[in-house]
Structure 1
């Protein structure tokens, strides 16, 4: 397909981005070209937009960023048989090698050679995006385009919560950004007896209640460790989902977990974090697990089934829609924390 398209370009050396006309991507024989219908802003995109230390050390501008989307297949490569033009799709954004030991043993989500759409290669904040055919996920007809675009981050929440969880447990979600809010909904829907949402942002704590939180703790007003202890009769929670990446929050997550409990860490601290491993992990017998991406494609199937069955209600987390040209409004809301999920429409 020839011609140009609108796209958000991350420029090197400075915060921000620009909306420009660039060539529509050319696809190889194993790739699919998708006309983007909706793209959502992720915390990773904010890191790139802000040009923080993580972004400076990871991404190589200029390029199109963004990785969460839904759309319609516009063109398929000559060797593609698994998907057809016109189909309604989203995509797994971790592009793996298929050859390393994790890939060969069913652990593709921790492939040693992963490339991430919109981070390491051209992304989806554009009218068109190309992805390998093997990364395509076919959406149910009738699923709203904005909801379909957030299945990828919802997969992060599902992976974080459902790894090792059983019904009746007490769960704390530390950090109520969009994925943290989704984790609240997943925990509640999965049978948690308590879902404690912890953040400093009152707007997002209010959203957490809408998503199913049984209690909220504002760290701007309250001591999270004392409050979690009081809410759990001094036992602590069975599962802590650390979604913020803040060093203090990570240390507190280890302390608020019950003896023999689990701490799942999805948040990405910008720098190394000092923890008391002896007292807060070893002597407590904690299981601490890093969560990266989604199990391919086990988590995608869980997400699709949970949404299709109406088991989880995620719509409240989508709070704003903007055109691609209005991207600055969306990123400002994300930086200020006065939003849930922000959707850009090319």
Structure 2
């Protein structure tokens, strides 16, 4: 398909982005062209927009960014058999090599040579996006496009919460950005007896409550360790899902987990974090897990089923809708923390 399209471009090595007219991408024999119907803003996109240390070392402007979306297939390459024109799709955003020791043993989500759509390649803050057919996930025809666009980040939440047992356990979610808020809903659906949401932002704590948190703690007003002590009779929580990346909060997470508990870390601290390994990990016999991406495609199956069954309803945390032209309003809200998930509609 020839012609031009509107796209949000990371146009320079500095703060912000620009709406530009760019070429509609050409596809090869193994790729698919998708008309984007909804695309949501991720914390990673905010890092790139704000031009923080991580993005300065990782991305190379100018390019189209964005990686969470849903849309409709409009053109397929000659080798493509898994989708057809007209299918509703989203995408696994990690492009993996298939050849490293991790891929060869089925652990694609930790592929050594992962490239990320919208970080290392052109992304989906645009009217069209071209992607490898093997990365596509077919959506039910009746799934709303905004809900379908948040399956990728919801996959992060599902992978974090369900990387160990959660049924009948006390689960603390530290950091209630959009993925943390979804983690609350997933923990509730997984049968956690208590889901404790911790953050400094009352707006987002309220969304966590709507998503099923049984207790919310604003760490600005209440000492989280004392609050957890009261809630658990001094035993600590069984599972900590660390979503904040804040060194103080992370340290508190290790202090609040019970002996023999689990700490699953999805957050990306931008500097080294000091942890009392002796007392808070070794002597407590704690399991610590780094969580990256989604298991391909086990996590996608779980996400799809949790949404279809209604066990997790993500609508409360999709708080704002804007046109592609109004992208800067969405980024402003994300930076201020005055939103749940922001969805852009090309």
Q: 2:234 is matched with which residue? A: 234
Alpha-carbon distance, 1:46 to partner: 0.3
Alpha-carbon distance, 1:11 to partner: 2.0
Q: 1:313 is matched with which residue? A: 313
SS in 2 for 1:14: coil
Task: Mark the runs of 5 or more structure 2 residues left unpaired by the alignment.
Answer: none
Alpha-carbon distance, 1:132 to partner: 0.5
Q: 1:291 is matched with which residue? A: 291
Distance across 1 between alignment mates of 2:311 and 2:217:
25
Alpha-carbon distance, 1:285 to partner: 0.5
Matches within 5 A, 1:1-346: 1-346=1-346
**Contact 2:166-2:187 at 8 Å conserved across structures:** no
Task: Mark the runs of 5 or more structure 1 residues left unpaired by the alignment.
Answer: none
Report runs of 4+ in structure 1 exceeding 6 Å deviation: none
Alpha-carbon distance, 1:313 to partner: 1.4
Task: Report Cα offsets for 1:298-338 as digits up to 9, x if no partner.
Answer: 00000001111111111101000000000010000000000
**Contact 2:185-2:211 at 8 Å conserved across structures:** yes
Distance across 2 between alignment mates of 1:147 and 1:225:
35
SS in 1 for 2:240: strand
SS in 1 for 2:15: coil
Task: Report Cα offsets for 1:47-101 as digits up to 9, x if no partner.
Answer: 0000000110111111000000000001111111111111100000000000111
Task: Report Cα offsets for 1:171-214 as digits up to 9, x if no partner.
Answer: 00000000000000000111000000000000001111100000
SS in 2 for 1:46: helix
SS in 2 for 1:120: coil
SS in 2 for 1:5: strand
Alpha-carbon distance, 1:12 to partner: 2.4
Distance across 2 between alignment mates of 1:166 and 1:329:
37
Distance across 1 between alignment mates of 2:317 and 2:155:
14
Give the paired residue count. 346
SS in 2 for 1:338: coil
